[in-house]
Structure 1
Amino acid sequence: MTYVTGLFLIDANASALNNLGAIEGERYDNSTGVKVIRTNEGFYPYISAQAFRYWLRQTLQQSDFGWKSAPVYREEKIAYTDANPIKWWDDDLFGYMRAPSKRESAKAKREADSSRMGETETTDTITRTSPFRVSTLVSIAPVRPTNDFGVMSRQDGDPVPHEHQFYRTTLQGLFSLSLKSSGTFWYKKKTGFRNLDDVRIDQAKAENLELLEDEKAYRLPKDQRLQRITSLFEGMAKIEGGAKLSIHYTDVSPVVVILAVTKGGNHIFSHVIGENKGRPEVNLEALKESLQIFNDEIVSDIFIGWVRGYSEEERNKIEAFAKTAEAKTENGKEIKLSHPREAFKNLIAEMKKPENSVWLE
């Protein structure tokens, strides 16, 4: 089973990308704090995986990649998507949980809601484990958030004071995409793998999806699966989002990425980037070890994207290392260095080669 395994860095120059709301005990009632992990070493600002996935969904919805987003429905205190991975690309790659209420009152309310025209009928509880997994994005080094004081003074009367926190750091995240699971929908009676109920199974049959009888699954054609996967990575390369952009304007697209197609879902690059005085530092020994130990599990070249001008000395280290014999695995895979957007494009091009279609099996 193969995965796209990736690491990425975001340069948060002066940012408050994920906030926790009001801070109790501060001098002003409207003091806003940032999310941090508190350790003995200090405070590590972070961005939740939920926030990052939200940014990515929004970027994909607003893109020209042809992305097809599922509608979201609301019932009192719960909300859910259409939960149809055959039709909607984000239901496929981001997963879902759908357990519709069987109460007559809830059913009548759904039927009376004109905004739900075209909704896929759901006859049973269905869940889908997300093929796309992403970590919490965490600062590579501890920092002390800055408290910024401001006032609202455009109105008559006394100015209204307010305060918010922000920080300067580099945030690191990990992600993984199961290539087999992308575009493959199970109907097993198992949590996470009961992707299809009877209605969706009938749709799979009507659209002539490939039946994997031994696995109790249906699968989209490879060209459709690749279209969804490549759109996801195009969105990651150009991702936008985050809080306080009107006053901090942080570009959250990756300044560094490390990408490869690997066997197994364990992350092989998680210790390649360290830090020195708060700045990222490439651990070449860790990279060499990964290329040696995981030689049999790396099935593509290693695509590294590094923006010129960002920690230029570390980029130069990668560039020099890539020219050595140690930068190649025993099975001939090598490091290819470029801009992060180019790294995603090169990975996509590799995936589209006919000889690599086996990665989707």
Structure 2
Amino acid sequence: MSFVTGLLLIDAPASALNNLGSIPGARTDNTVGVKMIKARDGAYPYVSAQAFRYWLRTTLEDAQIGWQKAPIYREEKVAYTDANPILFWDDDLFGYMRAPSGKKSAQEKRAADTSRAGETPTSDTITRVSPFRVSTLVSIAPVSVTEDFGVMARHEGDPVPHEHQFYRTTLKGLFSLDLHAAGTFSYRQKTGFRNLDDGRIEMARQRGLELVTADKSYRLPLAERVQRVKTLFEGLAHLEGGAKQTLHYTDVAPALTIMAVTRGGNHIFGHVVGATGRGQPEFKLDALAEALTVFADDLLSAVYIGWTRGYLDDERGRFEQALQDGGLLAPFRGQIQIAHPRVAFQAMAAALAAPGHEGWLD
């Protein structure tokens, strides 16, 4: 099976992109803290995978790029999407879990809810493991988190104090997309693999989806599968989101990304970017050269590197020098394409749709 395997960096010069709420025992009752991993060597701010996936979902929905989002339904303490990957692209690529309550009261409430007029009937528990996977985005080095003190003073009487934390760092995250799973829906009686209940199986038949008997699954036409995957990468190119944007206005679109289509789901780029002793981002040329050598048989595409000019220019100069004759990366010069991150994501999307690459989605 083939995967799009990638790494991304988000430049957070003064940011609080994912917060944990009030901090007990702080100087003010409404002090807002940032999420961080506390280790022996210091504090590593992070953005949860859930938050990143939320940014990407909302970007895809708002970017006017044709994304077909699933409706969301609420029942007291639970909420879920329509769980129909045949119709809705986020149910396909981001996965779902749907376990309808059999209680009479719950059934009556669902029947009376007019917002469910177009809901896909669900007769059994169905789940889908997300073909798109993303790691927690973690600071590349420990940092000293800043405590910012402010007041609300636009009123008569004493000012109202408030505080919040923020940080300066580079966040690193990994992502992976299972190309075989995209647009392919299993009906196996196994947790995580029963994507379709009887009603959805019938819909797949009526719509003429390909039956893949060996996998006990139905598959969308290739053109539709490619379109969904292409649009996902267009969303990554336009990524927006993050907390405290009114105060810190951080551009969360990746400043640097590395990706390729690989055979197998092991991440080959996980260690090619690290930190110097001063906590600054460092492109590890020897680690990239080793990965391209060791995993040469698993690389199915070019290696697409998106790098914003103005970000780590000295590192970029060192990288480009390594591509020249005699450089450490010179043997791989024909494999590596470097451009702006948005162009790199678009190039990856175009490669997935190019003639001759149909096997990547098999």
Same fold (TM over 0.5): yes
Residue identity matched to 2:139: S
* Residue matched to 1:318: 319
Residue identity matched to 1:115: S
* Residue matched to 1:186: 186
How much does 1:333 deviate? 5.9
How much does 1:322 deviate? 2.9
* Residue matched to 2:329: 327
Compute the TM-score of the two structures, normalised by the length of structure 1: 0.98
* Residue matched to 2:296: 295
1:272-321 CA-partner distances (Å, limit 9, x unpaired): 00112222101111001000100000110100011111110111122222
Residue identity matched to 1:71: P
How much does 1:114 deviate? 0.3
In structure 1, distance between residues paired with 2:211 and 2:339: 40
In structure 1, distance between residues paired with 2:331 and 2:84: 40
Contact 2:285 2:329 in 1 (8 A): no
Once the two structures are superposed, the pairs formed by residues 1-361 of structure 1 within 5 Å of their partners are: 1-276=1-276, 277-324=278-325, 327=329, 334-361=335-362
1:147-182 CA-partner distances (Å, limit 9, x unpaired): 000000112211100000000000000000000000
Contact 2:262 2:298 in 1 (8 A): yes
In structure 2, distance between residues paired with 1:323 and 1:174: 28
In structure 2, distance between residues paired with 1:45 and 1:100: 37
Compute the TM-score of the two structures, normalised by the length of structure 2: 0.97
3-state secondary structure, aligned to 1:269: coil
How much does 1:349 deviate? 1.5
Residue identity matched to 1:343: A
Equivalent residues, number: 360
In structure 2, distance between residues paired with 1:52 and 1:260: 21
Q: Which runs of 4+ in 1 moved over 6 A?
A: none
Contact 2:11 2:254 in 1 (8 A): yes
Residue identity matched to 1:85: P
Contact 1:10 1:256 in 2 (8 A): yes
Give the root-mean-square deviation of aligned CA atoms.
1.2
In structure 1, distance between residues paired with 2:221 and 2:329: 36
In structure 2, distance between residues paired with 1:26 and 1:351: 51
How much does 1:327 deviate? 3.4
Contact 1:291 1:329 in 2 (8 A): no
Quickly say closer, same or farther: Cα 1:355–1:329, change in 2 above 3 A. farther
In structure 2, distance between residues paired with 1:57 and 1:329: 38
In structure 2, distance between residues paired with 1:187 and 1:64: 32
In structure 2, distance between residues paired with 1:38 and 1:324: 44
In structure 2, distance between residues paired with 1:27 and 1:341: 43
Contact 1:291 1:328 in 2 (8 A): no
For structure 1, which segment, 339-348 or 136-145, has the greater mean C-alpha deviation from structure 2 after superposition? 339-348
3-state secondary structure, aligned to 2:357: helix
How much does 1:130 deviate? 0.2
Contact 1:322 1:336 in 2 (8 A): no
Unaligned regions of 5+ residues in structure 1, if any?
A: none
Quickly say closer, same or farther: Cα 1:126–1:328, change in 2 above 3 A. farther
How much does 1:324 deviate? 4.5
In structure 2, distance between residues paired with 1:324 and 1:96: 49
